[in-house]
Amino acid sequence: MKGFVSCPRNCFDGCAFLYDMERGILIPRKDHTGVDGITCVKSRFLLDVARHPERIKKPLLRERDGSWREIDLDEALRIAARQIEKKDKVVRIDYSGNMMLLSRRFHHRLFHVLGAPHVRWDICAEAGSEGLRQSWGVGYGMDLPDMKGSDLVVIWGANVYETSVHAYTYAMKTKQSGGKVFVVDVMRSETASQFDLIRVNPGGDVALALLVFLLLKEKGYTVPMDIPYSPEELASISGVSMDKVGEFVDALITAERPFIFMGYGFQRRMGGGMAVRLISLIPYITHGKPLFYYDRPPYGIDTDYVSGMHLSAGEVWSLTGMHRHIEDLENATIVVMNANPVNTLPRGDVIAETLARPSNFTIVHELFMTDTARHADLIIPSAASVEYEDVMITYGHKYVGLNEAVYEKPPHAITNMDLARSLAHLLDLKQEELYEDDWSVITYVLKKAGVDIDLLRKQGYAPLPEIPIRKEPIFPTPDKVASYVRPAGRGGYNLLTPSRRFRIHSQYWALHKEEEVLYMSGDDADLLGIRSGDMVRLKGENGKSITIKVEVSHDVPQGIIRVFHGVWGSRLNNIISDVMSDMGPNSTLSDTFVYIEKV
Ligand code: SF4
């Protein structure tokens, strides 16, 4: 058997594969411009997940004594339907555990009909996207593969060694062919240690971008915006020396094809959307083009049709503020799909408490016994992505990828779409949208977008429509920028919680179990009398605290501490910021400040 497989993960790279049945492996496609024969270690996990010994293969019902009892899928679906009928309210919590077109959205139709609030996915990249929309009309510049062959690469606020194998590979190729690669970051990350670091203060990105504007202006470039600050002021706020910025600007103006890759972490702060907006304008000033990558919206794809937004009653809940929506919830059926909110959303402790509340009935659709599944009353096993058909639209390149079933699904596991259709049937719901079959939805949406379905079927991938973008972007006015010309900081240590290369957030932890560690600078450790291996207590601004093991690192500057998020059993998200940003709406996870004491 040979099949087309697309990686459904929440990842820039959007890898596509051929499944080689004889060898039982996935081969990254070399004939696909967006994949280029490159993939990350996690591609192996796509198959490993399906055969993993810890995978939940039969539904689990919680008994009165707290133990689990295995039941059949039919019984699990009947119990789920009964609970939905019995309770006062239905709540859906979902996010990006599976990013394929239908797997991510088709089930929304059911929850809209049941009156569940629609969930706004405001945790990730919306601040930057909104910043770009204000300048360029759309939250988009170029695609990740456009980075190939650049003579100057700027990786701004991203640790692509951990999070984007394509960006890291292309940057390395630029360096190896004599080009220049700068990394703008608050610390010497794994990526920065390979290239030329421009170390910026946390939240100093707006000041740094304005300083670049100012120096370009001095060199005769047209910058259609007043900048009422001196270079020295901006250098001091950004934390970057005039010499370093001068070196950066010189490299930029002599480059024939610069490319700026922007990450998400630095825009999860107050002012983060403005930072993305200003950075996107730098290559426009020097080269007259949007030579940057930041996200790729599913332009032309009618995601509202897939989600059945016309069925929604209109109530919208925030993902970042989910704990506030549900903290007083009683007598509700809560259904969690595509997500591990107890581990990944702010105040996972409040979410866990609500899921486990006796008056609520919690259904978790999952592959593994995650932090969230542990609080369920009923776990319904989900199908692994290699066990069913769907299509993948990534945010890194312009190709929609076909995903075919190359493994057989366990008999008691169910796809998101079939779960929604089965529950609709058991609940005797009449809306025909609830029963539309998968390929009818896919065909309608892709045809509407102008995608060649025959080519997709034949080749396994097909291009999406081009995204129109303003030729002349709009620059912000100085008064709009003024409040962001300051570093972040409210006292305490700035806690950063980035992604790890073996995980996608908390996904895959079962396949690569790592201990949770806090990295801090040697100077801070000396001041606090801490050594590697010591345990410390981190106290958040919300009064909550966690205990964690320290590792002293020379790559982390004073005032910053770092913990890779997504370790199962972690309490890290109990202390991260749950404040909404000023643009987006978006989370401000990177604006987390904590106090440290040795235990
Ligand atoms: S996680 Fe990302 S880089 Fe790795 S296989 Fe999936 S899409 Fe590719």
Candidate of 15, 159, 164, 503 to mutate for ligand 1, largest count of ligand atoms within 8 Å of Cβ:
15
Q: Whose CA is nearest to atom 3 of ligand 1?
A: 40
Q: How far is the CA of 422 from the centre of ligand 1 (A)?
A: 31
- Residues with Cβ within 8 Å of residue 459, at least 6 apart in sequence: none
- 346 and 419 share one domain: yes
pLDDT band at 113 (very low <50, low <70, confident <90, very high): very high
Q: How far is the CA of 62 from the centre of ligand 1 (A)?
A: 35
Work out the mean pLDDT of the chain and round it to a whole number. Answer: 97
- Mean pLDDT of the 347-353 span: 98
- Mean pLDDT of the 153-182 span: 98
CB 49 near ligand 1, within 6 Å: no
- 201 and 318 share one domain: no
Whether the predicted pLDDT of 76 surpasses 70: yes
> Which of 408, 430, 463 finishes a domain?
463
Least confident of 435-439, 471-475, 487-491, 534-538: 487-491
CB 46 near ligand 1, within 6 Å: no
Q: pLDDT digit string (tens) for 17-40?
A: 999 999 999 999 999 999 999 999
Q: pLDDT digit string (tens) for 445-500?
A: 999 999 999 999 999 999 999 999 999 999 999 999 999 998 777 789 999 999 99
User: Would you state the structure tokens that stand for residue 25, as one six-digit string?
Assistant: 């492996």
Please report the atom of ligand 1 found closest to the CA of residue 41: 4
User: Would you state the structure tokens that stand for residue 322, as one six-digit string?
Assistant: 């989910």
- Mean pLDDT of the 192-209 span: 97
Q: Which of 20, 58, 51, 2 is nearest to 413 (CA)?
A: 58
CB 380 near ligand 1, within 6 Å: no
> Which of 479, 507, 526 finishes a domain?
479
- Residues with Cβ within 8 Å of residue 446, at least 6 apart in sequence: 301, 391, 400, 453, 456
- 184 and 137 share one domain: yes
- 55 and 146 share one domain: no
Domain coverage including residue 389: 16-114+303-463
- 496 and 409 share one domain: no
Q: How far apart are CA 232 and CA 211, in angstroms?
A: 9
- 160 and 255 share one domain: yes
Please report the atom of ligand 1 found closest to the CA of residue 165: 3
CB 14 near ligand 1, within 6 Å: yes
**498: Cα separation from own chain's centroid:** 10
* pLDDT at residue 2 in the model: 67
* pLDDT at residue 139 in the model: 96
Higher-confidence position of 431 and 1:
431
Residue type for 64, please? R
* pLDDT at residue 310 in the model: 98
Q: Which of 186, 157, 128 is nearest to 493 (CA)?
A: 186
- 21 and 110 share one domain: yes
> Which of 463, 497, 520 finishes a domain?
463
Q: pLDDT digit string (tens) for 543-597?
A: 999 999 999 999 999 999 999 999 999 999 999 999 999 999 999 999 999 999 9
Any domain includes 6: no
Q: Whose CA is nearest to atom 4 of ligand 1?
A: 40
| DSSP letter, residue 186 | S
Whether the Cβ atoms of residue 282 and residue 212 lie closer than 8 Å to each other:
yes
Whether the predicted pLDDT of 1 surpasses 90: no
- 220 and 345 share one domain: no
Any domain includes 1: no
Any domain includes 417: yes
